[in-house]
Structures are given as structure tokens and as C-alpha cells.
Amino acid sequence: MTAYIIRRLLYAIPVLFCIILVTFLLARSLPGGPFDRAGDKTLPESIRQNLEAKYGLDDPAYIQFANYLGGIVRGDLGPSYSYRGRSVNQIIKESFPISLQLGILSILLAVIIGIPAGIIAALKQNTWIDYSSSFVAILGVSIPNIVLGPLLIYVVSVQFGWLPAARWGANYKQFYFGWIPPMTKDFWIHAILPVITLGTAFSATFARLTRASLLQTIREDYIRTARAKGLTEYGVIMRHAMKNSMIPVVTVFGPLLIGVVTGSFVVERIFGIPGMGEFFVTSITNRDYPIVLGTTLLYSVGLVLANIGVDLAYAWLDPRIRYD
Amino acid sequence: MAAGTTTAEMTSAAPVTRRRTPTGDAIRQLRKNKMAVVGLIVILIMIFIALFVDTSLFTFFTGGKAQPLIAPYHYAEVDFLHANAPPLTRTEEGKFYILGTDYLGRDNLSRTLYGSRISLSVAIVAATVSLIVGLIYGMISGYGSAVRDNFMMRVVDFLYGFPLIIFIILMQVYFKALSATDDTNPFVAWLIRIDDAMGGIFLVFVAIGLLNWLGMARIARGQTLSFKRKEFVEASRSVGSNDGRIIRKHILPNILGPCIVAETLAIPGYILLESFLSFIGLGANPPTPSWGIMISETYQAMRVAPMNVFAPAVALTLTTLAFNFLGDGLRDAFDPRLAD
């Protein structure tokens, strides 16, 4: 197993290299540069050239790329062009934990609501509980973030004034270990609406998958055997059916994480959350290459690690799958 | 297909008066699923609206300027005196805004109706592109030698690891920036001309097509693998069919059904992706009304004019809901293994 993990991690290196290369080329081929204008005015040619020289942008592209790779090896993602005096490392340190908290809480919400809902729907198949939960689930899959977010703000924040409509209730200085938020009231009241906005669709996806998968599993012979030997219904479901029916659910974790990333771009914008998604989107328009590259690299590392995690989870859920 | 009854079949199964085919069974199954039928009806109504929202379908052949047909006004017609008007506003000039107006005084109802064009064309074009590319790639991979299959699937695995959405965003920015400059490269200029003619959504189609053929390729490959070992393919080969004929006559007709069903299930995702790109400002060019743009332009002033957000939001949700119901119904009807 250890050998397998090491091999997968080694495979990830060329993938990440290609991602950096493609992103580098794409970002550099965007028309316009980072120092075309300051505010609304265009910069004089000489100042622009000096600034570009300062950041090494006048070097040939391959030297810039080599320098950038060298920086990555040393753990330095370079300076930001648009936020003068701040490094990409600093920006990521401040914004990434917020996106991470948002993403983790959304997935937790999805797991806590979606999987039990799917189990109940499957066990009460073809009753009103099943029909109504399936209907709610399909509604949850269909309602887009960009609809749910404004709707929640309008009802909960504007009409009733129960929760704040924007911002995040904690900043990086308060985080434990750099990413765990303080469990203050301020944090939670700001987190509720964005997490619901991002998590609803995933929760509905989990519910639908769990229901379909569990329905298939409880028709298997070994479930009949478990019932025949007199196990309680709870024991049959929890000990025998659950683990096997989780395999298709785990499969969607990869696409789900991409969905979390995509969703975070929108949700962070709607709720004015200073997370990494918002930095990524604005840095592209600002031609802030180091931020674009740094955030893309971080997203990619996350996705690659998550995919390895999913494959390991298969082996745990289904002992027939062996990696060596 | 159900009507064609022959005497031979009548005698072989006397009580059955109609010939039963798998497709016929599936369609009957689908018709019993009320929500899927409702979804289909909603989609048909939307296609009708998208086609006849203005007269561009006729002026395309006759020439001349398109006039609004179903929509009360043109989507870019501004009325600054009545910006952010509430629903059911009647003006002194005799205009009547059923759903009110947005911050430029443009009629919300008209813009929402026009917006169906973008969402539906994304649904149709992206699904077709993804289906064609995925089918071809998957069949080539699954039908060929194990070495080629292995190589082609490793390529798919490799691309799966890519955060493609980020590359789509980068590409969109790239094309948006290019269309603002005068590029001399004829190919780029040609791309941009098409894009401008379509209100800036052509490149969204390209992007979505690039993103979404991977899953389809895997499905098509799996289906091809299972069918190419079947007896009837063997039989066909034994009477002298070549590979091209086997793929056309035996593999493709059999795998097309499951692939189309899988593609239908993916359509809501395409619609959401378009609205997402439009929302962050990388979709259609203003003033082309896309539901994503309409929401992003107006959600910050929701306290003043909530209808500006609700009209496109309801339309968007209704569309994805309709496609989800239809896709679920199709899957249950055509793939009994997945139905419960």
C-alpha cells in the first residue's frame, strides 16, 4: 500500500508540471500585461519597462519559467503584481484557509444531510417519504448557486434580518494552525448562508446516489443471508449494506471537489468573502500572473491528492480492490 | 414502431396485439413518468419561445431587422425614465412592463424570454459536441487493440487530473481580450467574428465541449468493449463484415441509447456552467441577455428591485429542473438496470 501511495505521488509530479506549463503559457499569451495601467490611467512606456524589468518580465519566457520553477522548489510563489508589496504566499496564506473552511463545511453539510436522507429514502422506498425526499433532492440539484445565494440573502438577510448578508466572520490571524477557524458566534453567523448555498447541490447529489446505490445493495444475496441469520434491520443496513453502497458515493468525490472550487468562485463573489476563488478570478483580469499560477497550482495539488484519497477509500470499502 | 403488426407475430403470440420493441417499451415507461412528461413539455415550450421570441427565424431567410414576436419589447430597448420599475408598471407612453424593468429600464420579461435562446443553445450545442467527440474517442479506444485502448484511456485519466474549469476560465479571458484587440492572425480573427456574431457565446460552447467529452468517452468505451465481444458481432464478422461496417451497423446503434441518456443527464450541468461563466463576466457579451448575466448585473440591488433577479432565477431553475426530470425519466426508462 505504501509503495502504491508513493508511486501515485510520483506520477503526480509530471501532471503538476504540465499544469504549471500550460497555465504559464496560457497566462503569458493573454493580451495585455500587468503594468498597462495604474488605476484608470495608462502608464508611461519607460515606467512600464522599468517595472517589467524589476519583476523579470523582460527576460525570455523560458528563463522566466525556469525561475518560477526554481521558486516553487524553494516554496516561493513569487511577488504579486497588483497587490504591491505582498507576496503570493502571503495572499494564499490569508485567503486559502477561508476557501478551505467554506469548502469543508459545505461537504460536511452535504454528508450530514445527504447520506441519511438517501438511506431513509431507500429504506422507505415508494412511500411518501421517499417521493418527497427524492423531489427535494432533484430540486436541490437543479437550483444553481447563483440563484440560491441571492434568494437566501433576500429572504434571510434583507426581509428578516436574521443573518449578515456578506463577509466572513474570521480572518487568518485568528485561525488555529493557520486554517482552523475560531468557533465564535461571529464566524458561524457569517458562515451559515454561504455554506448552505454551496452545500445544497452536493447534499442533493449525495442523497440521490446513496438512495440508488443502497437500493441495489439491499437486493444482494449476502443481505438476504444476513437477514436470514436473524440480524436486526439496523445491523443489516449498518454492518452489511452501508459500506458496500458507499462505493458509488465515493466515486463522485473527485468531480465534487471540482464543483466546490467552481462554486466557491461564485459563492465568494455573492457573499463578498475574501477567499482564494475571488482572488483567482480578479487576478486573471489584472494579469497578475503569479497569483493565477499559484492558485492554479494549489487547486491542482488539492485535486490530485483528493483523487489519490478516493482510490485509497475504494480499497478500504471494497477489499476485493487491491493495489500493489 | 408499435403499429406495424404482421400475421406471423399475431399467430406466435395471440393475446399480444401490438409488437413490442425495447424502444417502444421505454417510451411507454417514459410516458408513465409524470414528472418526466412535465419536464419534456416545459422544454418544448421553451424551445418554442426561443424560436419565436422575435422574428429572426423569418428574417434570417427574408432579410431585414428582427422584430419582437412573443417578447413585448426588444431585449436592449432602454427606458431610463422607468429604470427599476416594479412589476405591472404602465407608463405614460403606453408601455406595460409585466415583470418590471432593470437598472437601465429594460423590460425584464422580454430579457428573460430572450435569455432562453442562450441557455437552450448551450444545452443543444454542448451536448452534441460532447456526444460526438466522446463517442468517436470512446469507440476508437474501446474497439482497437489493448495497447491503443490503454494509451487512450491514460490520456483521459491524465486530463481528468487537470482542473479544466480553470483552463476554461483562462481561455475565456484569452478570447475576450483578443476580441478587444485587432489580431492579424486570420484564424483568430475568424473565431472572433463568429463569436461576436453569436453574442459572445460561441467560445463558451467550445469551452464546454472541451471540458465535457471525457466522461462520455469513458462511457462509450465501456459500452464498445462489452458489445464488441457479443455473438452477433462475431457472427457479422464471420460473414465478412469489415470493422467499419461492424461499428456502423452493430456497435453504434447499440451504444447510442445509453450514451444519449448519459448526455441528457449532463445537460443541466452545461446550462449551469454557462450561467456561471456569464455570472463572473466571462460568458455572453452585454447586452445579450443571458440569465447568468442578468442575475450578476442586478443581485446587488435586490433590495430595490427583487424582480430583476427573480425573473431570470426562476427561468434558470425551471430549465435545469425540467432537464433533470427528463434525464431521470429517460434513464429509468431506457436503462432498467438503473431503475429501481
Distances (CA, A) of A21 to A10, A66, A68: 18, 10, 10
Cross-chain Cβ contact B324/A292 below 8 Å: no
For residues B207, B211, B216 and B218, what is the CA-based torsion angle, rounded to 10 degrees?
150
How much is the pLDDT for A163?
A: 86
| Residue A25 forms part of a structural domain | no
Q: Is B187 on the interface with A (CB under 8 A)?
A: no
Q: Which pLDDT value is given to residue B337? A: 55
Q: Do the domain assignments include residue A111?
A: yes
Give a yes or no: residue B169 inside a domain. yes
CA distance, residue B337 to nearest chain A CA (Å): 9
Distance CA A159, CA B300 (A): 15
Q: How far apart are CA A259 and CA B54, in angstroms?
A: 36
Domain contains A244 = yes
Band of residue B43 on the pLDDT scale cut at 50, 70, 90: very high
Q: Which residues of chain A have pLDDT under 70?
A: 37-40, 321-324
- Is position A46 within any domain? no
CATH code of the domain covering residue A205: 1.10.3720.10
Cβ atoms A36, A48 nearer than 8 A: yes
Give contacts of B276 with chain A, Cβ < 8 Å: 144-146, 262, 265-266
- Please determine, for residue B41, whether its predicted confidence score (pLDDT) is greater than 70: yes
- What does the pLDDT average to over B32-45? 90
In a domain, A24, yes or no: no
User: Domain for residue B247, yes or no?
Assistant: yes
Tell me, yes or no, whether A28 lies in a domain. Answer: no
- pLDDT in the model for residue B320: 93
**Whether residue B2 has pLDDT greater than 60:** no
B141-196 tens-digit pLDDT: 988 888 888 888 888 887 877 777 777 788 777 777 777 666 667 777 777 777 77
- Residue B203 in any domain: the answer is yes
Adjacent-strand bridge partners of B89: B97
What pLDDT does A80 receive? Answer: 85
The residues, ordered by sequence, that sit 6+ positions from B190 with a Cβ below 8 Å of its Cβ are none
- Considering only the beta carbons, identify the residue of B309, B320, B340 that sits closest to A215: B340
Q: What was the pLDDT predicted at B121?
A: 87
Identify from A124, A284, A301 which residue to disrupt to test chain B contact, counting B C-beta atoms within 10 A and taking the largest count.
Answer: A284
Cα–Cα distance measured from residue B26 to residue B315, given in angstroms and rounded to the nearest whole number: 29
Decide if B317 and A143 are in contact by the 8 Å CB cutoff. Answer: yes
- Distance CA(B188)–CA(B191), nearest Å, equals 5
Quote the ipTM score.
0.84
By residue range, what is the domain housing residue B287?
32-338
Cβ of B313 within 8 Å of Cβ of A154? The answer is no
- How far off is chain B from A284, nearest CA to CA, in Å? 7
Mutation to test the B interface, candidates A200, A218, A262, most B Cβ within 10 Å: A262
Residue A125, domain extent: 88-317
Partners of residue B174 in chain A, C-beta under 8 Å? 26, 29-31
Q: What digits encode the pLDDT tens for the residues B44-64?
A: 999 999 988 888 778 777 777
Q: Is B295 helix (H, G, I), strand (E, B) or coil?
A: helix
| B321: phi then psi, degrees, rounded to nearest 5 | -60, -45
B320-340: average pLDDT? 77
Q: Is residue B124 part of a domain?
A: yes
pLDDT score for B13:
47
C-alpha cell of B139?
Answer: 469507440
> How far lies A118's CA from each of A111, A134, A209, B264, in Å?
10, 8, 7, 23
Q: What is the mean pLDDT of chain B?
A: 82
Tell me what pLDDT residue B336 has. 56
SS3 state of residue B101: strand
The Cα A301–Cα A19 span in angstroms is 10
Name the residue with higher pLDDT: B103 or B163.
B103
Alpha carbon of residue A71 to chain centroid: 25
What span, in angstroms and rounded, lies between the C-alpha atoms of B212 and B200? 20
Q: Is position A66 within any domain?
A: no
Biggest CA–CA distance in chain B, Å, is 80
pLDDT digits (tens, 9 = 90+) for A196-235: 999 998 999 899 889 988 888 888 888 888 888 888 888 8
DSSP secondary structure of B222-272: HHHHHHHTSHHHHHHHHTT--HHHHIIIIIHHHHHHHHHHHHHHHHHHHHH
What is the rounded CA–CA span in Å between residue A281 and residue A21? Answer: 19
User: What's B167's domain CATH number?
Assistant: 1.10.3720.10
Number of folded domains in chain B? 1
Separation of alpha carbons A31 and B176, rounded Å: 10
Q: Report DSSP state, residue A14.
A: H
Q: How far apart are CA B278 and CA B171, in angstroms?
A: 14
Q: Chain A residues with CB inside 8 Å of B306's CB?
A: 154
CA distance B8 to chain A (A): 39
Identity of the residue in B160, B164, B275 whose CB atom sits nearest the CB atom of A146:
B275
The pTM of this model reads 0.85
Is residue B112 in a domain? yes
Q: What is the domain count for chain A?
A: 1
Asked if B111 contacts B278 with a C-beta cutoff of 8 angstroms, the reply is no
A249-263, pLDDT tens digit by residue?
A: 887 887 788 888 888
Query: Which amino acid is located at B80 in the chain?
Result: F
Q: Which range has the worst mean pLDDT, A48-62, B9-23, B116-130?
A: B9-23
pLDDT given at position B174 = 77
Output the CA–CA distances (angstroms, integers) from residue A61 to A25, A29, A65, B183, in the order listed.
9, 11, 6, 21
